[in-house]
Amino acid sequence: MGSSNLELIFDSVGHFGRYQIFLYFICAFQNISCGIHYLASVFLSVSPQHTCRPPGNVSQVLFQDLSTWQLEDIWTQVSVGREDHILVQLQDGEVWELTSCQRFRRDDQSSLDYEYSGRKSSFPCLDGYIYDRSKWLSTVVTQWDLVCNREWLGRLIQPTFMFGVLLGAVIFGYLSDRAGRRLVLWASSTGVFLFGIAVAFTFDYYSFIVARFLLAISGSGYLVVVFVYVTEFAGMKSRTWASIHLHSFFAFGTMVVALTGYFVRTWWIYQIVLSSVTLPFILCCWMLPETPFWLISGGKYEEAQKVIDTMAKWNRTRSCKLSELLSLDHDGSAGNKPSQVEKHTLSELFYDWSIGARTLILWLIWFTGCLGFYTFSLNSVHLGGSEYLNLFLMGVVEIPAYVFVCLGMDRVGRRNILIFSLLSSAVTNGVIMVIPKEYHFWLVVATMAGKFFIGAAFGLIYLYTAELYPTIVRSLAVGSGSTVGRVGSIVAPLCIYLSSIWIFMPQLLVGTLALVSGVLTFLLPETLRRPLTTTWEETEKESSSGKLLSTTSNTVLENVAVENSEDSSLNK
């Protein structure tokens, strides 16, 4: 059934009436849960100040000129640097110097001077660690001692989650075309709830990683399918805004993480609270119907007619008869099977030198968008001031970014908005690098600006990619781009750890990539108010005549989502 005839359904029953609004907000609410779990590790894996636990009961504690009787009290009175040591005297008279990853026993036990130049013996932290619990009562780091020689295990928590996101997009994208959108929405959201709760009750680090990995697969699967689901229920007049603003609900998830982290300081309770956000969707998801487009593509015309009739009833409009619309495509026979869609390979995105260069530039933009998106969010807790407020603001600033994209792309063009966003993000990263660290207010403001611009670029790149390719490979182009983008989200937490080499290394990396991507985007054509091409021949003709390859945004979203949801996933 042709896309133009499918659009006649919405002309009859309404492009975005009460029924679509009802379904939209049910589905969008679950996006909040996905946004939560994607950034929950910001506080799950907090690594507080710590020191080696001494091998006995402590009778006196000394740090520089401060003396106390309990080692745990030291964190509330002073800030102990990573290279500093704490001097303790045990009840048996032994004197120990405790550092974050080692402990030393002084041979001269009569000296309680903080500075000591005599002989001392080094010992590993076999008795565990004592942590600063003034902010967090427990995190996964303190639960399983993911510090010192086990610190690398803690640094793998977010990358392994993002690898699950990549895998989930492939698995559920495939299943949604074969089992239906509704079933996959049910299964993935149930998985988000069950695995989210399971994370809180894991018994060791490895079971925690496995549970989080399965949670990532489920959450990613939901995000893949919900975009297609919403797109297939929204008419052309509302499709662009509806699809792009699904991102806004993801941003609300970031805000929920910040608020929950502020009020709940025990990691497994924090995880349970965050996972409970999925519960309302679980209770309501049985009301979700299958999309008429998927039912029609599978020849289930009677079921599709029932959904269309329900839509018309809710919207108080006139329904339409599928048999009449189908006859336009099937020579009067409504029972013909839909034609098979020809499969295309990745090599077709390198059809010639010009198209190959276009593909590589777009892949770089996808990578930069995802890398910058998560780098700004994950790094916000290191800016100084309140880490909870910082993360909350990173979520808040996304919403006007998506409004900016929706308003700007149809006025000044997709390419111009993308160039402006990428170059502005590069400049903002440069500004962050020259702001002194003690001016944390201005660091937060500059980081919010950077998140705004990179968020705008990320929100636009899906549509822009779809408009730059002919119909025969459009889904493949978007799918490959989103896959490259997920690689960027895997690299992002590793990028944050580069700040141990140089504090501004993440900003330097993201800023450089944004600058290069922004400059290279000048080589791409504008796509505003231009018709789609369907074949490479038409694309070549457009290029040779100097015309621009593009389309209206709603038409592209319809073609990509309906043709192949497996590849055209909108995923964070």
Per-residue pLDDT tens over the stretch 406-438: 888 888 888 999 999 999 999 999 999 999 888
Same domain, 293 and 198: yes
In a domain, 564, yes or no: no
In a domain, 330, yes or no: no
State the number of CA atoms in the 13 A half-sphere of 214 facing the CB.
Answer: 16
In a domain, 360, yes or no: yes
Per-residue pLDDT tens over the stretch 500-521: 888 889 999 999 999 999 999 9
Same domain, 402 and 519: yes
Same domain, 62 and 149: no
Segment 293-297 shows an average pLDDT of 80
Residue 266 DSSP class: B
In a domain, 280, yes or no: yes
Same domain, 537 and 437: yes
Taking the C-alpha atoms of residue 398 and residue 396, their distance in angstroms, rounded to an integer, is: 6
CA distances from 464 to 9, 143, 467, 556 (A): 26, 45, 5, 9
In a domain, 337, yes or no: no
Q: Domain of residue 91: give its range.
A: 50-109+118-134
Which range (42-56, 401-415, 471-485) has the least confidence?
A: 471-485
88 phi/psi in degrees, rounded to 5: -130, 145
* pLDDT > 70 fraction of the chain, expressed in percent and rounded: 85
Same domain, 425 and 458: yes
Same domain, 294 and 189: yes
Question: Taken in order 405, 415, 560, 529, is the CA torsion positive or negative?
Answer: positive
> Taking 80 as the threshold, does the pLDDT of residue 537 lie above it?
no
What number of residues does the chain have?
A: 572
In a domain, 92, yes or no: yes
Confidence of residue 338 (pLDDT cuts 50, 70, 90): very low
Give the CATH number for residue 479.
1.20.1250.20
Per-residue pLDDT tens over the stretch 340-397: 545 567 777 887 888 888 899 999 999 999 999 999 999 988 888 899 999 999 999 9
Same domain, 43 and 56: no
Same domain, 95 and 158: no
DSSP string, 37-78: HHHTHHHHT----EEEPPSS-EEEEEETTEEES-GGGHHHH-
pTM of the model: 0.85
In a domain, 500, yes or no: yes
> Taking 60 as the threshold, does the pLDDT of residue 120 lie above it?
yes
Average pLDDT, the chain: 83
Q: In this predicted structure, what is the pLDDT of residue 530?
A: 63
In a domain, 308, yes or no: no
Same domain, 82 and 165: no
Same domain, 122 and 167: no
Same domain, 359 and 505: yes
Same domain, 239 and 289: yes
Confidence of residue 278 (pLDDT cuts 50, 70, 90): very high
Q: Number of folded domains in the chain? A: 3
